[in-house]
Structure 1
Amino acid sequence: MNPASELRPDAAPASRKVWKVGTLTYTAAGIVALFVWLLWGDFAWSMRDRSIPPVITLLFKNYGSPDMLTGILIGSLPALLGLVLNPIVSYRSDRLRSRLGRRIPYLILSTPVIVIGLVGLAFSPPLGTTLSHWFGPVLGASLATLIFLALFWTLFEVGCVVSMAVFNALVNDVVPQELLGRFYGLFRAVSLFAGMLFNFWIVGKSETHHMAIFLGMAILYGIGFTVMLVKVKEGEYPPPPEPQGPDAAGGFLPAVKSYFRDCFTKPYYLLCFLSGIIGGAANIPFNLFVLLYVKSIGLSLETYGKYIALTYLISFVVSYPLGALADRVHPLRLTIAVQSVFALVTLACGLFVESQVSFLVGLVALGVMAGAYYTASASLGARLLPRAKFAELSSAGGILGAGVNIVLAPAVGFILDQSGHNYRYTFFMGFILAVVSIVLFLLLYRRFLRYGGPAGYVAPE
């Protein structure tokens, strides 16, 4: 069933609420159907994102990867791929006009790439063992396995980067703007539910049943995301903007010039990008190495998983109210408030976490506040960026974010290697990044008010 109702606004009964976004028109039933299918796709997406990074982090460590190399593979490599692929896919997606829309074709292409990457990760250990037998003592089984893990992880991330470039843009194209905060609240709730499932029942088996986890996620994502793509329909779009001036001839170089002119010549949007990038990066130092932190203090993965599930349960309860609050007070205001509390929590963790008990208390507090930040800021881009060039401008933020992550992840790993793997330092690194992001968000808010503020905002062209 097409979630976009064929009902026309002028044909609707006066008492019947109708929502419009572009050429799509929804009744209440159509909104429910749209949300159900998007959230089903989000569940498959979230199970993939919640389960794969922790498992691959442990496998890299188990097969001899130092923290700095793990940081490069888990943090810098996806960022580098995003730096290359995100602008290309986003720019072309904004300008694509096809029978299936402008976003769904790219999501269709990326889905089998992700599935193949997951299957390859599942079979990397036996492939590594086989390869080491062929080469004898020249190539050990651990190094050979690490090579296969890195190769299939790269393939997996290629698919993830392409899908990430357009999935949020699809949401922005099909969900009415006045419902975006609520949708992203539900979006976060589904993601947190997936996190609870993984951490309560599966994370403790990450080292012993990694093949089953990878294969299970391949099946779930392949089927779940494909069903969403079949059920969700895009509307019609106006013709893409025609190149002007010296770019009118078309071609690669004019497209590149047009892209950089649209995305990197407006200080307001650069401030939008940087504030969100640094805000999200504040959680990276701890998140990237949390499982290694857990093992360093002798805490079992089962116990860690239960407390993460508790964290997600709390975040699950507050996610929709936070999304609704973002619609009412504006996500920029809410983001500043939430990030301020997050900064205080990271500082408190750095100062007072000394035992397993205090670590678990800090883990829950930090996780809840990090989740609140992601929920509060989820609809921020959709509320600040112009809809016609949403994917293109979002990808510009991705480029800057990739640059930050390329440097940040291995830098954190290097500091931890030099400190003797004192993972408590990750709290202080997160605090510094959170404070910087708050300053940037406040500067952004001042400019936001100049463009009309919450009541009359118009995105500058």
Structure 2
Amino acid sequence: MIGPAVSALPSPAATAGERDGGAAGTTPVVKAGAGLAALAGMLGWLLLGDLGLAMRDRAALPSGLELLRVAGASDTATSLLLSTVPALLAMFVVPLVGWHSDRHRGRWGRRRPYLLVAAPAGCAALVGLAYSPALGATADALLGDLSPGAQVCRLAAFGVFWTFFDCAALCALSLFTGLVNDVVPFGWLGRFYALFRIVGLGAGIVFHRWIFALTDHHLTGILVATGGLFGGCIAAMCVGLREPAAPLPPAATAPPAASASGTLRRGLPDGFLARPNLWAIAMFVCAAITFNPFNTFYQFFAHAIAVPKATLGMLTAIGYAVSIGSAFAIGWLVDRCGAMPMCAVVMAAYCAVAATGTLVVDDAASFQAVYLCHVIVSGAWWTAAASMPMALFPRERFLQFNATKDFVVVAIAILVGIVQGPLLDLSGHDYRLTLGCGAVFSALCLVCLARLRTLHPTTTRDS
């Protein structure tokens, strides 16, 4: 375990200024003689936790999509079960957990106790998901004439376990973001998140290159192993990493997630409705909608256009490898130039990719080219934008601001999820519409970034 000397790290840049809207908070510093050891130890534990979190997107999500495809789920059912219903529950749970975490003070810190609950909960949910087809078949047999049908029972079992897992995973991700915000100085965030991206992308390469094709025959075992990695890595990080002393909690207010109306009336942190924050929310909303539709249906798109699963896995691995090669450079540029300029460049590139794909994808070859570009450019966005919330929201109330932002983003994403599935069903499964949506909202995201840049010219805080 990292000892008391690991209370902080130094900032590499003396040029980092106070970020707008942030109140003075405690920023960690490494005590003399322990800097390199503290840096290496803290980084190692955080990377281990990030590996567990990466299991959601890199392994659980594609495996879940495969479960739905095998079950014959419609586009509407896929959108509802995979995106809308979990997001609807998470938009209440995640802010509530963040509110309590920001105020918690204890021997284990304010993030790790909640992470130690989310980790085994997510693991158990993935194990249940692995056996959801069998559980659905059992429920169908037990209900007999009252059963709505075997397929409905299987999809219902999937929905229950995936919703439970996604809530646990999203809570863990929010708490992990708060933990990083607490222990990593702002001037290092770009490079730290680049290393996190490398770990996650490496896990994605392993899964898509060597494991994804095995889901035809070993899907249950893959999901069980994914659950073990998710829970085990996060729990090990919590045991090995020590959090710094937290600032005193702000005055108690009503939890922001007690109800949807309560969130809007009472739960907004002081200063959250400042104009820069509103433009930041709009930017995060547009970014989420830019990538979500295609990421939800890319496996269905590939199957419809006759791209073999092995080819899709290989393309994903290649895209992740390119992202790994560029991640540290992007992180370094974010630390030196700022997150906003880098995000604007990357989003402009994605707008061009999505618009081109909408017009030209009509066979397997064109899909493969556009899909590879999508993986590379969207990966660059997540690397460049990873530290943006830390740049915009105050440290001592970070999870309150970030969770409230997530509440709004998820609420809008739910509306999109409700629409996208039926629209694709009505269009005859024209999955090019997902790229068209990406082109439109990436352009809107660029508008928000431009406006945010004029209102929020600095995105760095005191180190």
User: What is the TM-score normalised by the length of structure 1?
Assistant: 0.90
Match of 2:318 among 293, 300, 310: 310
Q: Contact 1:182–1:327 (CA<8 Å) still a contact in 2? A: yes
1:291 equivalent in alignment to 2:286:
no
Judged with a 3 Å threshold, the aligned counterparts in structure 2 of structure 1 residues 422 and 385 are, in CA distance, closer, same or farther, namely same
Q: Contact 1:55–1:207 (CA<8 Å) still a contact in 2? A: no
1:110 equivalent in alignment to 2:92:
no
1:203-260 CA-to-partner distances (Å, cap 9, x unmatched) read: 11224321011111122222221111111111112211225xxx69xxx79x965532
Q: Contact 1:63–1:145 (CA<8 Å) still a contact in 2? A: yes
> Which amino acid letter does the alignment assign opposite residue 244 of structure 2?
G
Q: Contact 1:23–1:236 (CA<8 Å) still a contact in 2? A: no
> Which amino acid letter does the alignment assign opposite residue 108 of structure 2?
L
1:162 equivalent in alignment to 2:168:
no
Partner of 2:416: 408
Structure 1 regions of 5+ residues with no counterpart? 10-19
2:105 partner SS = coil
1:153 equivalent in alignment to 2:158:
no
1:279 equivalent in alignment to 2:287:
yes
User: Cα distance, 1:7 vs. partner?
Assistant: 8.9
1:309-351 CA-to-partner distances (Å, cap 9, x unmatched) read: 0000000100011001100000111111111111011111112
Q: Contact 2:8–2:30 (CA<8 Å) still a contact in 1? A: no
1:230 equivalent in alignment to 2:239:
yes
Worse overlay, 338-347 or 80-89: 80-89
User: Cα distance, 1:392 vs. partner?
Assistant: 0.4
Q: Distance in 2 between matches of 1:298 and 1:7?
A: 53
Match of 1:22 among 17, 28, 39: 28
Partner of 1:17: none
1:211 equivalent in alignment to 2:220:
yes
Q: Distance in 1 between matches of 2:273 and 2:106?
A: 30
1:85 equivalent in alignment to 2:93:
yes
Q: Contact 1:274–1:397 (CA<8 Å) still a contact in 2? A: no
The structure, 1 or 2, with the larger RCO (C-alpha pairs under 8 Å, 6+ apart) is: 2
Partner of 1:355: 363
User: Cα distance, 1:383 vs. partner?
Assistant: 1.4
> Which amino acid letter does the alignment assign opposite residue 167 of structure 1?
F
Structure 1: 4+ residue segments shifted above 6 A:
none
Q: Contact 1:63–1:143 (CA<8 Å) still a contact in 2? A: no
Q: Aligned ranges for residues 381-460 of structure 1 at < 5 Å?
A: 381-449=389-457, 453=458
Q: Aligned ranges for residues 236-251 of structure 1 at < 5 Å?
A: 236-243=245-252
1:5 equivalent in alignment to 2:14:
no
1:260 partner SS = coil
Q: Tell me how many residue pairs correspond in the alignment.
A: 440
2:331 partner SS = helix
1:346 partner SS = helix
User: Cα distance, 1:261 vs. partner?
Assistant: 4.6
Partner of 1:202: 211
Q: Aligned ranges for residues 19-168 of structure 1 at < 5 Å?
A: 21-22=27-28, 25=31, 27-139=35-147, 140-168=149-177
Q: Distance in 2 between matches of 1:347 and 1:297?
A: 19
Q: Distance in 1 between matches of 2:221 and 2:87?
A: 27
Judged with a 3 Å threshold, the aligned counterparts in structure 2 of structure 1 residues 6 and 206 are, in CA distance, closer, same or farther, namely closer
Q: Distance in 2 between matches of 1:37 and 1:4?
A: 15
Partner of 1:328: 336
Judged with a 3 Å threshold, the aligned counterparts in structure 2 of structure 1 residues 422 and 29 are, in CA distance, closer, same or farther, namely same
2:217 partner SS = coil
RMSD: 2.4
Partner of 1:173: 182
Q: Contact 1:101–1:234 (CA<8 Å) still a contact in 2? A: yes
> Which amino acid letter does the alignment assign opposite residue 115 of structure 1?
C
Q: Distance in 1 between matches of 2:228 and 2:269?
A: 42
> Which amino acid letter does the alignment assign opposite residue 239 of structure 2?
V
Q: Contact 1:44–1:225 (CA<8 Å) still a contact in 2? A: yes
Q: Distance in 1 between matches of 2:299 and 2:426?
A: 19
User: What is the TM-score normalised by the length of structure 2?
Assistant: 0.90
Q: Distance in 1 between matches of 2:248 and 2:394?
A: 16
Identity of aligned residues (%): 30
Judged with a 3 Å threshold, the aligned counterparts in structure 2 of structure 1 residues 360 and 27 are, in CA distance, closer, same or farther, namely same
Q: Distance in 1 between matches of 2:8 and 2:168?
A: 38
Judged with a 3 Å threshold, the aligned counterparts in structure 2 of structure 1 residues 215 and 263 are, in CA distance, closer, same or farther, namely farther
